[in-house]
Structures are given as structure tokens and as C-alpha cells.
Amino acid sequence: MNGRPRRVVVVDDERSILLTLENLLRKNGYEPQMTGTASAGLAAIHKTPPDLVLLDLGLPDGDGLDVLRTIRRELPQTQVIILTANDSLSNAIASIKEGAFHFISKPYAPEELLGLMGRALEQQQLVAETAVLREEKRKLSAALEKAERQLAPVVKSRSMQEIHDLLDRVAPTDANVLLLGESGVGKEVLANQIHRQSKRASGPLVKLNCAAFPANMIEGELFGYVKGAFTGAIADFRGMIGESSGGTLFLDEIAEMPVDLQTRFLRVLQEREYRPLGSTKTVSANFRLIAATNRSVAEAVRSGALRQDLFYRLNTFQIPIPPLRERREDIAALVTLFTERFARQLGKTTPMLTSLAFDTLLNYSWPGNIRELQNAIEYAVVLAEKDTITPKQLPREIQLPPALQAAAHAPAAGTLNLEDHERQTILQALAQAGGNKKKAAQVLGIHRPTLYGKMKRLGIEV
Amino acid sequence: MSAELPPADTNVPFERVGSMVRQLTHDIRNGLNSMELQAAYISDLLRDPEEGVDTLAEMKRLRAMFAEQSRALQRFSARFRIGEPNAVNYPAKLFLEDFRERLAKTQPNFAPQIAWTDALAEEAIAVDPEMIFAALGEFFQNAEQFHESGRPVTAHAGASAGYFQIELREPKTAVASDPATWGRVPLVSTRRSGFGLGIFYARQLLAALGGKVEQAHDATAAELSTRIFLPLTK
């Protein structure tokens, strides 16, 4: 019953029916209003719209079907059950056609009527819930669309403007695109943008990171398989090529794809058809390919990690995306974008960056590119106090002096000489200690004067 | 009121239940056969339309056959077990008025032949109108079905000894058995569209609301009287 009693208007010209129903409905927790004519019924319905109407078809001042039509037109959410002694099938058909929930002929058993009313109200609730869910879905879609728009590449720097211009021309074609750039520069964001601006925008955008799957699994992921193709193939799987039909296939880290699979994939690009694993049937492929890699393509081709013929196929349009450190003009816009987004997600007021904090961000080398900037801003927004972000609220490696930043990220190299090793170790210790020489000396297990001496000798300035 | 008879016995011998089931299936089969024939007829009409035959009217006839079958089944199932009474306070005069209105709709040919009189004032009854209309309907339908034409049917409504009463007097030259025994057990005299449930059902309905029925045949006057009693509310 959902809290409040459900309001039911009964329109019937028989006094005995009205008396019986009023008693029955009240006893069963409904709030009935009894009316004896079409006009009285409509007036009651208009005054306070009911959840349900029990309607007789043969009324003294009008046709019940006309009343039904009015209710359906003016209060479509109100359910109507036809109650009549006139139980010919033609009446039933007409009333159902006009939108009545059901038809019950007199005499009816009370439980029969109550059961029908329960079903009608349940359906009404389901319809209402569906409408709410549909509205929620619409809102979520709008929010998603807005979020996707926000994920559009930030185009402030000259280099990104050039990329944007190229993208405008390439996206509407079906040409393969190869996106190059370091990790975190926004290759996936550009792939999204290309798909959205393409003729295939209404189709799916299917993404597969070739580095994320073991070599023996990637073939099945890409080409799909039929049940029983191999141990564990318990059901047919369409594969990413199949899933992207009519849309775009984005293959990230393409140079990580096993070489023998590259040969097979090249054939798909040439012949536009393929065969899922274990299947004897050839399936046509209909996708636009966007590939990406963070490796040097020339090096990958030279080392044999990327087949040259596949590279030529992929390379119809090559879009190299510069690292963030080479387009610092974009940092301000990206900082604004991320600050607003995370503040909204966290339900906080968008914090302001102090000029020192902003300079710190601007001067950082951003080896992790936009992804790293995004993480740094999220970190800072969480820690922001009094709606302000100071350098203290930035991740520690960003607060380091420039000389130590590279050391903080540098992997232990295997080709350095002893002096280089010493310099690298001291820099890493300093980075780990946040530039504090006393702590760095402790980390290194040497006295502070020794550290000063070594720094001087190796030309380390912090 | 006449001497009290033992209460209704619902312990029905199996052979009576068997007869009832046989009769019921026979009736349903008959109905289905008729519908099948009607459908075949419509199908013929559609294949080879004869001039002057209204196919739509024939389809309506078929639909009416379906409706009649479902009505009969509904009536039949209702008579097996009465529901919980949904009693409402009803002024006796209004109750009578509403019943007569209902009778005019359900028995349009017979209702005008009944000569009504009443002696009601402000009495009230607590009844489930649908149940009591159904109970009264049984006796009035029987009266119509077995009406000996040419002689009048009378009905009188009044109140006495704490009861609202309706007395129906219909001409009846002879009866096969003592009417006082009618409807005491279910499933007697199974015949086409009749399962010996009608008066038994009416008695159950009346009893559920504290009422009762008495029937008697006066051979001299050649008249069957049916007196229905319903307790008045204080």
C-alpha cells in the first residue's frame, strides 16, 4: 500500500454496488469515493485524481466508455477497471482498447476484484517507477555526455591546436589513425574524440589494451571464439572485432600485440573479414581502427616488436601527441578543468590555487603527463583547506626542487658508471627525504658533512 | 414459522459428486460443440459469402456463446463456496427498491408479472446486498422458470418478530416433494445446467447473514409460498 491509502473512485449507478464496494474497499485499506453518475464521477476524479477508478459502463447520464476515454486522456496514470453487468465480450474489447486495465463482470467475487485492483495498482507503480528510472537515465546520460565533453582534449597550446585541426579533418573519414605519445598524454581522450566526430559515432567504441592481456588470451579477446574452441571456452564470445561492428576499435599499446597475431590482424585490415577461434565460418569485419602506442615506432619496428607492414597499414594518419612538459600552455586550462571536476565530485567548493602552487605545477616536469596532473589535482582538492590549494597540498614529488624531481622518477639504470650511480643514489635519497639533507644522510647511512662533501664534488645543488 | 429442520448436510455421497461431474462435463462439451459448429459456420461464410447472411452477427453469436459459458462456470463455482459476507446497513425500504430494480434488469420478462405489496416503515437490515440479491434471485428465477402461466405471482415485504420478510407466492398445482426439504443438501437432482445447488446455495447465503428461508406448498390453493427472513438491526 506504500504508506498512504490508495484513493479509489467508484462510478456506478447501483446503490447496492456502491454500498457494498464502499464497505469492502474501506475494510481493505482503500480510501473510496462513491459516485452514481458519469458527471459526478468525472467531477470527483478531476477534483482529486485517484489512483484507481472502478467504472460501470451503463450509466444513467452517459456512456462509461466516454468516461474511460476522458480519464485516459486527462489522467493517463490513473488505472481504470470496468465493472459492469453488461458482460458481453464486445464491451470488454472496447474498454481494453480504450486503455482500461481490466474488465470484471458482475456479479464478481470480492477477492477477484481485490486481486485485480492489487494488480492494477502494482502495474501503476511499476509504470511510475519506470518513468522515474527513465528520467534518472536521461539525467545520467546528460551528465555522462557533459563529462565526456569535459574530457575533450584541452586545446590551448599551438601543438594541440594543430592536432585538433588535423583531427577535425581525419575524424569524419574511415581512415586508420595511429596515435603516438608518452603514457598519460591523452591518447584515449583523442580516440574518444575521433569516434565522437566520426560517421560511426552512433556505433560502439570498443577499446582493447594489448598490454593488458597475456599473449595467449589476446587472440581470443580480439577475434572471439566459439564454444569449445579451447579449454574454458564455455560459451560463444563475439570478440572485440565483432563487438566493434559499425563502430570504432581502439587498440592501445599496439606494439605489445604478439607478432604472430599482428600478421593475423593485418589480414583483417586488408580483407575486412576474419574467423573467430574454433569457427569454420568467416565473419565480415566492419570497424574503423584507431591504434596507439607509447613506444617509439621506429624503435619498435627496428626491434621487430611491431611488424613493418602492419605499421604501414596503421599509419594512414599519424598523430604524435606531445608530452605535457612540451606544452605548458595547456597546464592552466587542465588545472582549472580538473579542480572543478574533483571539487564537484567531492561536493566541495572549487578551491583556488595560490600563485606559488600554480608555479610549482607549471615548473614540474610531468613525466606522467596529464594523467599525473589529474591525480595531483585530485590529491590537492581532497587536502585543500579553506578553499585554497598551497604547494603543501600537492603530492610530495611535485614539491621537490627541480633538481630532485627527475631523480624521484628515475629508474635504477644499469648503464651508469660509478660516479653516476653515486649521484643518482644521493639524488634519490634527497628526493625521498623531501630535500631534507639531514634525513637524506640518514637514509644513505652517512654523516651530513659527508653528504655535503659528496654533493659538492658531484655538483648536486638543491 | 414452521418446525425447524436439521441443519444443512454437506457430507455428500460420492455417487452424487460423480453425477455432478458427469453432468458438468456433458454441459461444457455441449457448449463447446455448439461453439465449434458456430465457428465452422462462420468459416464457411467467410470462404463463400452468402447473400443476406450477416457474418458479423454470427460472430457476435459465437462471442455470446463464450460469454454464456463463462457466466455459467462463474455461477457454478460461486455456488460451491460462499465468500465472507460484506455486511452493510441498509434501510429495508431502499433494499426492497434496489432489489426490485435489479429484478427488472435480470428478469425483464418476469418482473412486471409480479404484484408487489409492502408494509415497511423505517426498519433496517445488515446485509451483504450482493449475496442477498443472489439468494433472492434463486427463488425468483425458479419462479420464472416453473411459472404456471395464467395465474398471478405475488410478493409481499414486511417486518415482524425481529425479521424483515419477503414472501413470494407463485401458482403451483403440484410439487414432487415436500418443499420444506428442498436445498437441505447439495448436488441433488443433477440435470442439464442444474446441479442441485441453487436453493442449497441460497440457504447458505441467507444463513451467513443470520437469515433463513421457509417453503411450503398449499395443495388446496395450488400455491407455493417462499418466505425469506433476514434479521432486522436494532
DSSP A277: B
**Å between B4 CA and nearest CA of chain A:** 31
Q: Please report the pLDDT score of residue B187 as a whole number.
A: 82
* Measured distance CA(B198)–CA(B195) in Å, rounded: 8
Smallest Cβ–Cβ distance between A89 and the set B67, B87, B105 belongs to B67
Name the CA radius of gyration of chain B, rounded.
21
Residue-wise pLDDT tens digits, B150-162 = 788 999 999 999 9
Helix (H), strand (E) at residue A47: helix A38-47
Residue-wise pLDDT tens digits, B139-182 = 999 999 888 877 889 999 999 999 999 999 999 998 888 998 88
Smallest Cβ–Cβ distance between A23 and the set B71, B88, B94 belongs to B88
Mean pLDDT comparison of A411-425, B72-86, B112-126, highest-scoring range: B112-126
CA B146 to chain CA centroid, Å, is 12
Chain A residues touching B205 at Cβ < 8 A: none
Judge whether B194 and B96 are in contact, CB under 8 Å. Answer: no
Mean pLDDT comparison of A392-401, A406-415, B57-66, highest-scoring range: B57-66
Q: Please report the pLDDT score of residue A27 as a whole number.
A: 92
Residue-wise pLDDT tens digits, A51-76 = 999 999 888 998 889 999 999 999 98
* Measured distance CA(A363)–CA(B34) in Å, rounded: 95
Residue type, B179: P
The chain A residue lying nearest B72, using CA atoms, is A107
Q: Please report the pLDDT score of residue A408 as a whole number.
A: 62
Q: Please report the pLDDT score of residue B1 as a whole number.
A: 44
**CB count in 10 Å sphere of residue B50:** 8
The chain B residue lying nearest A92, using CA atoms, is B67
**Å between B177 CA and nearest CA of chain A:** 31
Residue among A303, A297, A214, A295 at smallest CA distance from A261: A214
DSSP H helices in A329-401? 329-346, 355-363, 369-383, 396-399
pLDDT for residue B3 is more than 50: no
Mean pLDDT of A107-118: 88
Chain B residues touching A32 at Cβ < 8 A: none
Judge whether A283 and A274 are in contact, CB under 8 Å. Answer: yes
* B133 reaches A (C-beta below 8 A): yes
Distances (CA, A) of A88 to A83, A93, A140, B75, B174: 12, 9, 48, 16, 38
The chain B residue lying nearest A24, using CA atoms, is B86
**To which residue does cell 606559488 refer?**
A356
Residue-wise pLDDT tens digits, A308-356 = 888 888 888 899 999 998 998 889 989 998 999 889 888 888 999 998 8
Residue among A84, A34, A89 at smallest CA distance from A59: A84
Of the pLDDT bands very low, low, confident and very high (cuts 50, 70, 90), residue B36 is: very high
Residues 6+ apart with CB under 8 A from A255: A210, A293, A295, A297, A300, A305, A306
Is A60 exposed, middle or buried (CB count within 10 Å of its CB: 0-12, 13-18, 19+)?
exposed
pLDDT for residue A226 is more than 90: no
Q: Please report the pLDDT score of residue B50 as a whole number.
A: 66
Q: Do A20 and B130 touch (CB under 8 A)?
A: yes
Residue among A190, A172, A171, A194 at smallest CA distance from A181: A190
* Measured distance CA(A380)–CA(B119) in Å, rounded: 94
ipTM tops the 0.90 cut: no
Residue type, A91: N
Residues 6+ apart with CB under 8 A from A112: A104
Helix (H), strand (E) at residue A288: strand A287-293
The chain B residue lying nearest A14, using CA atoms, is B98
Chain A residues touching B86 at Cβ < 8 A: 20, 23-24, 27, 110
Residue-wise pLDDT tens digits, A164-181 = 889 889 999 989 999 999
Strand pairing report for B124-127 and B88-91:
antiparallel
**To which residue does cell 635519497 refer?**
A429
Chain A residues touching B105 at Cβ < 8 A: 85
* Measured distance CA(A10)–CA(B209) in Å, rounded: 25
Output phi, psi for B158, to 5 deg.
Answer: -160, -175
Judge whether B165 and B157 are in contact, CB under 8 Å. Answer: yes
**To which residue does cell 410478493 refer?**
B155
Judge whether A55 and A33 are in contact, CB under 8 Å. Answer: no
**Å between A14 CA and nearest CA of chain B:** 8
Q: Please report the pLDDT score of residue A147 as a whole number.
A: 66
pLDDT for residue A192 is more than 80: yes
Name the 3-class secondary structure at A177. Answer: strand
Mean pLDDT of chain A: 86
**CB count in 10 Å sphere of residue B11:** 6
The chain A residue lying nearest B75, using CA atoms, is A107
Chain A residues touching B129 at Cβ < 8 A: 16-17, 19-20
Share of chain B above pLDDT 70, in %: 94
**CB count in 10 Å sphere of residue B47:** 7
What count of residues does chain A have?
462
Identify which has the larger pLDDT, A443 or B99: B99
Angle, to 10 degrees, between the axis of helix B198-208 and the axis of helix B55-80?
A: 60
Identify which has the larger pLDDT, B140 or B74: B140
Identify which has the larger pLDDT, B8 or B132: B132
**Å between B231 CA and nearest CA of chain A:** 18
Give chain B as a 3 state SS string.
CCCCCCCCCCCCCHHHHHHHHHHHHHHHHHHHHHHHHHHHHHHHHHHCCCCCCCHHHHHHHHHHHHHHHHHHHHHHHHHHCCCCCCCEEEEHHHHHHHHHHHHHHHCCCCHHHEEEEEECCCCEEEECHHHHHHHHHHHHHHHHHCCCCCCCEEEEEEEECCEEEEEEEEECCCCCCCHHHCCCCCCCCCECCECCCHHHHHHHHHHHCCCEEEEEEECCCCEEEEEEEEEECC
Judge whether A103 and A92 are in contact, CB under 8 Å. Answer: yes
Q: Please report the pLDDT score of residue B57 as a whole number.
A: 87
Identify which has the larger pLDDT, A231 or A88: A231
Residue among A218, A173, A265, A308 at smallest CA distance from A273: A265
Share of chain A above pLDDT 70, in %: 92
Residue-wise pLDDT tens digits, B105-117 = 889 999 999 999 9
Smallest Cβ–Cβ distance between A88 and the set B64, B88, B98 belongs to B64
Q: Do A24 and B86 touch (CB under 8 A)?
A: yes
Q: Please report the pLDDT score of residue A151 as a whole number.
A: 63
Residue among B148, B180, B147, B154 at smallest CA distance from B169: B154
**Å between A63 CA and nearest CA of chain B:** 18
**Å between A121 CA and nearest CA of chain B:** 23
| Beta pairing partners, B229 | B165, B212
* B88 reaches A (C-beta below 8 A): yes
Q: Count A/B contacts: CB-CB distance under 8 Å.
A: 52
DSSP A225: B
Identify which has the larger pLDDT, A117 or A112: A117
